Structure 1
Amino acid sequence: METPSRSADIERNGAPIRSMLVALGLTVFGLVVVPQVTTIPAFLADPALLEAGQTGEYGEVSLWGRTLMLALNFVGMALAGIAYLLWTDRGLSWIDLRVPTMRDWKYILAGSVGSIVFLLVISNLYAVLGVPAEESQIIEIIADDQTMVLLMIAIVLFFNAPAEEFLFRNIIQKRLYEAFSPMQAVLIASVIFAIVHFPMYMLSGSMVATAASLVIMFGGSVIFGYVYVKADNLLVPTAAHAALNAFQFVILYISMVYGLDEEMATSLLADILAVVPL
């Protein structure tokens, strides 16, 4: 059964500049403003988070504190999207959510495999060209803790992927449909998605490394945005996003357990991908 608010049915009569400003405003509201409030319980539960946020040293922060902070951060992101829908009278019917059809599952597979292949290809290209990629702030939060890596898989599946895809695909990208074609909206939303991750990657001060990481973020976002356009079902990009990130953390966990360096981990990723049926 089709949802009542498919992208093809949205009348494109919005002002482009206004639509982009709304998209940027929603991004700031969803990634900065609301999470500042929703994560307060985590900082109250473990005050060590305050110092860790300033020093980048999360080794002394409890697993419970780190997990709660990340989970509540993404809860805040989702609440921001819901608040926008209610405030603008779009309502919860704006959410493109339904049981996946066989066609949806094909796009889930395409998005999952496509994003993993993209990550592998671009990572190997960077290795050949000698282009460094910046580590995410998430690596600091993990703090070489194998248990935290496993918890990150759960966070990705139940909080990160659902919240980010809801805000960036079902809210921001879909709002851009009112002024742009679906694929133009995908590109604009993906540029915004990459730019807002700039603070997360700008740790070493290397612009080249940061730019290289943002290219990966942009490419993944384009893939997720495209499958959302094709399926009109939020579950499709959410599942593909979760599969990519979970796969990354599985590889990280294996490399930590067996002491693999980056080159060996990449080789392992290639070997696993080689036996995935396409």
Structure 2
Amino acid sequence: MLDMFSNCRLYQNSHQRSYVYQLASVLGTLVCILSPIIVFKFYRIHRKQTDEALLFNQMQLNSLKGQLNPHFLFNTFNTLYGISLEFPERTPDLIMKVSQLMRYQLESNNKQCVSLEDELEFINSYVQLEKERVGYRCDITFDSKIDNENAYKISPMLLIAFIENAFKHGTCAIEKCFVRIFITVEKGNLHLHVVNSIPTKKTDVVSTKIGLKNTIERLNLIYGKDYKLDIQDEKNTYIIDLKLQLKKFV
């Protein structure tokens, strides 16, 4: 009977391949055991690299904000100084407005995001301050429309540099000039449209270009390629179009 089983093909295959099957079984077991360990190790390495990249980006953002804040402060006090020379009786009220701008700046400095409404109120306060300075000779328009209030958030002081730039270069002449600012939000898509006149005879403006440069670097760090910035420097007008997707409050 043993000879009969020994002549059986199935018996021969199982007997001849027993070592191969055992080896395959061991290897399969090792794969099952080691695969999760290897995957977990690669996940930890990737997570560490990601965290380091995020930390580096955050350090860069903090550095850019740290440079932008003194820049904004410098420009704001220049505005206040100009107003005090022409309208000294209005200086006390304007100092209060400037203090409100500074308070917002300090309070938002350590925040990654603020509500869009707070940021727009900050921009509106700045525009009102500029109206006090050059409103008598400059046509100033500021309009904002949001499709869903209290739903969106934005990095603080991300838009102000474009608006500062419009007032700095668009109102540097005595002749009639204009600054037009439009901000619309539809389905989370923010569109900033800023147009300012370029005087034919303009005075020299001291500009370090820190504000625009840092803002563009911040946009690159926060949004990567997920934003669109179009700047048109034409003969009589300077136009900025910024489009980006806002984050929602959870």
Would you call these one fold, judging by a TM-score over 0.5? no
With the length of structure 1 as denominator, give the TM-score of the two structures: 0.26
Q: Which has the higher contact order (CA 8 A, sep 6+)?
A: 1
Larger Rg belongs to: 2
**Greater percentage in strand:** 2
With the length of structure 2 as denominator, give the TM-score of the two structures: 0.28
